[in-house]
């Protein structure tokens, strides 16, 4: 698996990340802390900026 992907802006994004869309609020801090401690650098918080609700066509 690729370590990262190149975006259309030229920036790179890690290929593996932690998704927190439906995480229970009381578990979020511990999960994110553990992920960062384990080396994760991509934390996907899509629900926080409402992207998961944006649908086209």
Q: Tell me what pLDDT residue 52 has.
A: 53
Q: 35 is in which domain, residue-wise? A: 4-53
**Active site positions, annotated:** 49
Number of domains in the chain: 1
Do the strands 18-19 and 43-44 form a parallel or antiparallel pair, or are they unpaired?
parallel
Q: CA gyration radius for the chain? A: 13
Q: Are 48 and 37 in contact (CB under 8 A)?
A: no
Q: What is the pLDDT of residues 1-53, one digit of tens each?
A: 889 999 999 999 999 999 888 888 899 999 999 999 999 999 988 765 655 55
Tell me the whole-structure pTM to 2 decimals.
0.65
């Amino acid at each position: 698996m690729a370590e990262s992907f190149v975006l259309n802006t030229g920036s790179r994004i890690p290929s593996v990340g932690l998704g927190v869309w439906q995480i229970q609020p009381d578990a979020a801090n511990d999960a994110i802390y553990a992920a960062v401690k384990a080396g994760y650098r991509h934390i996907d918080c899509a629900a926080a900026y409402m992207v998961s609700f944006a649908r086209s066509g």
